[in-house]
Structure 1
């Protein structure tokens, strides 16, 4: 326990420092996100802070491998390599803009490789589907989650808060399960990296994460959630990211029903509508972002409790999770 507490604190501080250096470098290079009609910011802001997040994750995983190789469950080098490659592709996307025809195949390829590396037989659906169907559906779910995570990164602090929530939930669930069922090092590393980034990304944000951060984060969190699901713990794996899944999923279905291009940027997510409503009521943009990200953090705390409860009382956990996420979505539209 002392090792993990020290590790998390030191890595968080390292993340704060590394993000500060990254911010200075982005400013010098004038790598800025200029406001447009879909933006939730008003002034050009450095974008690409996800480079610091990935750097912090790399430093953290290397530290665990060097100091405590006995605690490296889940830190598969193939997954880390795939995340680095996605980081590089997403950095090019942030700088130049890549079409969905390049991004999506890369996401699918990374997820295909990742599913091959899942522990045991890699059967997420526990034999309910034929092997080929289990494999294919798992790849699609994982790639969809990666893109959901990217789509949802639209206001100050939101994805840092979500990463901290999911990662903390994974740690809590791991503590309640038999030893080595679920890795702790990976989720704790992601939490520390997100905390370090949040220091600079809290409203009003001094820099943005960019695809270079949100895509690798979605990929790595997806890996650990699938790691949980493949062990048979589906419910906590669904409850922990439930808000992002609900907001992105409902919005996607609505746009698809209107035959819109669902991969294009828009301002129809629940959290985006919540910002617009609060701006009309006189809140500053920073205050609106802060309230919404804080509300998401509070609901994530409830989802963590529900995920823990699901290990013994699944029906009660489902009711709590649905009520929490439904209540948040309702509040965002009021």
Structure 2
């Protein structure tokens, strides 16, 4: 029910906000853009507001374990702060160094106060593990933003992932509060989806992609903390590999990685003859396969199943990245 309520609220808010966003928050085509005409951005406001409205109503009436309510409220507050940073950047672009500092503060707040009990590598000194988690969290926030470059790709990437996490909250191993958060975020994105389908009438904007990255990173961190580290690595694998490989390639070429570009594999695919609808459909299909592999590693927690699941996930993701990077085969050509 929480996902349905969040979807309804987000969809209604998209309708109400769009005229204002057309007037004040048009995204004009640039070197990174896949769109050709100015399109309003800021749909992330509706996604976040719809999700949090539905989640807030649930928190009012549903009993949760001690501390779970406060944890969720803190995560929501940090996400709102990051959404404000994103909105600021949408309206008047921030310097890269300031953007990173503000992102790190929001991620650090969640890490230290919403997930202080999570330990993934007990053999490491706690400060080192926290530093690595902070780096990973900031990177996940940014890669979610980087990957939001064509219509529906964030929807097709995050909705299946949130669906899997919501099920983990119902069936285990994820805690109930995190499962509710995943369901609320899923609903918010579903409500936004009709406005973002190709060709989009509304974009998320940084106001949406940044906090969505934070929420997703938090949920995956929680899942990894239950012992399901392999599943937490598998579920977002397409987004992680596309963005990370692209970043490393740009660094190797000496490019300014904070500047707009069209080097991601999904962007290469648009240049290689794939329609946007085909790209996002293939990403969605891959993500469904990753969910199956992730579930397998949770159900059978022995080393060889973990190894086989991660290897298969890497192989399938690598095949799709390779396909996107090459010209589409055409009989007419």
- 1:206 is paired with a residue whose SS is coil
Give 2:325's aligned residue.
333
Does residue 221 (structure 1) correspond to residue 250 (structure 2)? The answer is no
Cα distance between partner residues in 2 of 1:101 and 1:36: 22
Q: Deviations over 1:26-78 (max 9, x none)?
A: 12x24211112331011111111111111112202211111213279475222
Match of 2:290 among 300, 303, 315: 303
Match of 1:203 among 198, 212, 226: 198
Give 1:113's aligned residue.
109
2:2 touches 2:55 (CA, 8 Å); kept in 1?
Answer: no
Gaps of 5+ in 2: 327-333
Give 2:51's aligned residue.
57
Match of 1:102 among 95, 98, 103: 98
Give 1:322's aligned residue.
314
1:182 touches 1:227 (CA, 8 Å); kept in 2?
Answer: no
Gaps of 5+ in 1: 1-5, 280-287
What does residue range 171-320 of structure 1 map to in structure 2 within 5 Å?
171-178=166-173, 180=175, 183-278=178-273, 288-311=275-298, 312=300, 313-320=305-312
**Gap change, CA 1:78 and 1:181, over 3 Å in 2:** closer
**Gap change, CA 1:44 and 1:178, over 3 Å in 2:** closer
Cα distance between partner residues in 2 of 1:327 and 1:172: 28
Structure 1 position 117, deviation (Å): 2.3
**Gap change, CA 1:11 and 1:118, over 3 Å in 2:** closer
Cα distance between partner residues in 2 of 1:248 and 1:275: 16
- 1:183 is paired with a residue whose SS is helix
Cα distance between partner residues in 2 of 1:150 and 1:120: 26
Q: Deviations over 1:219-259 (max 9, x none)?
A: 01111111111222211111111000000000011111112
Using the TM superposition, name which of 315-324 and 128-137 deviates more: 315-324
**Gap change, CA 1:14 and 1:273, over 3 Å in 2:** same
Give 2:330's aligned residue.
none
**Number of aligned pairs?**
319
Cα distance between partner residues in 1 of 2:237 and 2:156: 14
Give 2:128's aligned residue.
133
Cα distance between partner residues in 1 of 2:74 and 2:174: 23
| Aligned CA-pair RMSD | 1.8
- 2:94 is paired with a residue whose SS is coil
1:23 touches 1:207 (CA, 8 Å); kept in 2?
Answer: yes
Cα distance between partner residues in 2 of 1:59 and 1:255: 40
